[in-house]
Amino acid sequence: MLHFLWDSIPLQTVLIFLFVFLLIADYMKNRNPKNFPPTPFRLPFLGHIYLIDFKDPPAIVEKLSKRYGDIFGVQMGNMKFVMVNGIRLVKEVLVNQGDKFLARPDIPIDEEVFSRTGLISSTGHLWKAQRRFTLSTLRNFGLGKRSLEERIQEECRYLTDAFRDEQGKPFNPQPKATNAVSNVICSLIFGNRFEYHDEDFQSLLKLIHDTTVLHGAITSQLYNNFPSIMKYLPGAHQTIFKNWKLLKNFMQEQINKHKEDWNPSESRDYIDSYLLEISKDHDSGTFQEEHLTACTLDLIVAGTETTSSTLRWALLFMVTHPEIQARVQAEIDAVIGQARPPALEDRNNLHYTNAVIHEVQRKGNVIPFNVPRMATEDAYVDGYYIPKGTIIMANLTSLLFDKNEWENPDTFNPEHFLKDGKFWKNEYFQPFSMGKRACLGELLARSELFLFFTSLLQKFTFQAPPDTTLSLKPLLGIAMAPQPYKICAVPR
């Protein structure tokens, strides 16, 4: 009987029925709860992927924020995002209600790479313990102390020597600048720096750079939305997985070397201190070698690309604004002179230079949408309902480029940070984010940027190679870096 009924229904009808069923299931699963922030029409199964302009992925949000204002929802595959704009709401989610948004989302690529360990991708108790330990250990090794300042000054000397070796001819400053920046964090983690001509370390840095750029690739985005399909397809995500394995192997080697001559009573660096913590951590599992690998890798990745990109933006802006460069040099000559290296104390007297560095960070906008957060409980923001598990993107760009706050946000102008000739810090300047999960390396990054920048401008004038125009268009990746370029460092 049943068999007969089945035979009498044409295949077409079955397919249509199945399709309608899936459509309804998709709708039920993905429909927004009551009071959810405004969300554009979503396609069944695909969400808002149709809105992406594959030639210019950030353009989608541009369009949406124009239409929907300061808070709106977007869905990509299985992930629901809420974008938050403007100082009032960004502060609301990162500070006032910060405790509800301290987690990181389950982003498929990160999960595959870090399995939610380390500093950047971990959440809850594990995150809190790693962060607390890391901050106090970095402090012990001189973060905010004189010894670290000397370490950076020493690296500034290596970098200026290396730039001088280029004899004013056009060169790409990226490899050396990145190596210098990375050495500061490496000396805290491993207790040693790497020579700029060390090919193994150079290829490691290039691997980190290439991999972070790949995170912005279309196939990586597709993997995040449809991991179960993309897993079987080629693309940037496969290279990312391969590269992170290599990076982890490098870290594991460094850790093994430390274990060979480890002396529990005398910590030389971050790895030694972490090994001690592992030996004290009997059964909680919070401090394990796997987590140590992830933490060290996170510190290098978070600390290298961001700071190096900012430094390269700084050189680029000096080349494109020679009159600003000349004023910085005049101020350095008047306050420091040529005889001694710049010190952090000089920051209080270098108002113009300090304003320039802040303007580089503002206009460089290296982490435009912050690092994604996730709601750990249901919340209300600006009257909208944000269910637990929603991904929150705080648009830092909307602060750094606020039209009402900055005189001319799209122009590079140090006057944005000056009042009556004195350096003046603006509340809208938040490139390191805000609240309890803001950048862990802010102090280190700001010390590095100041010392590297002033040391370089003390010794060189930067110029574009003859007959070249340098592009200010950013490269998309985890961090917004300038396009690779060549410049001339002319000794002063």
Ligand X SMILES: *[C@@H]1O[C@H](CO)[C@@H](O)[C@H](O)[C@H]1NC(C)=O
What residue ranges bind ligand HEM (CB under 6 A)? 119-120, 131, 185, 298-299, 302-303, 306-307, 310, 366-367, 370-371, 431-433, 437-441, 444-445
Contact of residue 61 among ligand X, ligand HEM, none (CB under 5-8 Å per partner type): ligand X
Alpha-carbon distances, residue 360 vs 356, 473, 482 (angstroms): 6, 14, 12
Residue 316, binding choice from ligand X, ligand HEM, none, Cβ under 5 to 8 Å by partner class: none
430 binds ligand X (CB under 6 A): no
CA 39 to chain centre: 27
Q: Among residues 75 and 398, whose Cβ is nearest to ligand X? A: 398
* Among ligand HEM, ligand X, none, residue 148 binds (CB under 5-8 Å by kind): none
What pairs with residue 461 in β-bridges? 490
CB of 65 to ligand X, least distance (A): 3
62 is in the binding site of which of ligand HEM, ligand X, none (Cβ under 5 to 8 A by kind)? ligand X
Of ligand X, ligand HEM, none, which one sits near residue 70, judging by CB under 5 to 8 A according to partner kind?
A: none
Q: Is 21 exposed, middle or buried (0-12, 13-18, 19+ CB in 10 A)?
A: exposed
Binding status of residue 83 toward ligand X by CB under 6 A: yes
Q: What is the DSSP code string of 289-347? A: HHHHHHHHHHHHHHHHHHHHHHHHHHHHHHHH-HHHHHHHHHHHHHHT-SSS---GGGG
Minimum distance from residue 158 beta carbon to ligand HEM (Å): 18
Count the residues in the chain.
492
Residue 299 class from Cβ within 10 Å (0-12 exposed, 13-18 middle, 19+ buried)? buried
d(CA 394, CA 83): 6
Q: Which residue is nearest to ligand HEM (CB)?
A: 441
398 binds ligand X (CB under 6 A): yes
Choose among ligand HEM, ligand X, none what residue 177 binds, the Cβ cut-off being 5 to 8 Å by kind. none
Q: Taking the chain, what is the end-to-end CA distance rounded to the nearest angstrom? A: 96
65 is in the binding site of which of ligand HEM, ligand X, none (Cβ under 5 to 8 A by kind)?
Answer: ligand X
Helices (runs of H) and strands (runs of E) counted in the chain: 18, 12
Shortest gap between Cβ of 492 and ligand HEM (angstroms)?
A: 26
Name 400's Cβ contacts closer than 8 Å, sequence gap at least 6: 362, 363, 365, 409, 428, 429, 430, 431
Q: Please list every residue from 52 through 81 that binds ligand X, using CB under 6 A.
A: 61-62, 65
Phi, psi of 75 (to 5 degrees): -125, 130
By C-beta, is 201 or 226 nearer to ligand HEM? 201
Cβ at position 295, least distance to ligand HEM in Å: 8
Q: Looking up tokens 């600390």, which residue turns up?
A: 303
Q: Which is nearer to ligand X, 371 or 440 (CB)?
A: 371
Contacts with ligand X by CB under 6 A lie at 61-62, 65, 83, 85, 395, 397-398, 401
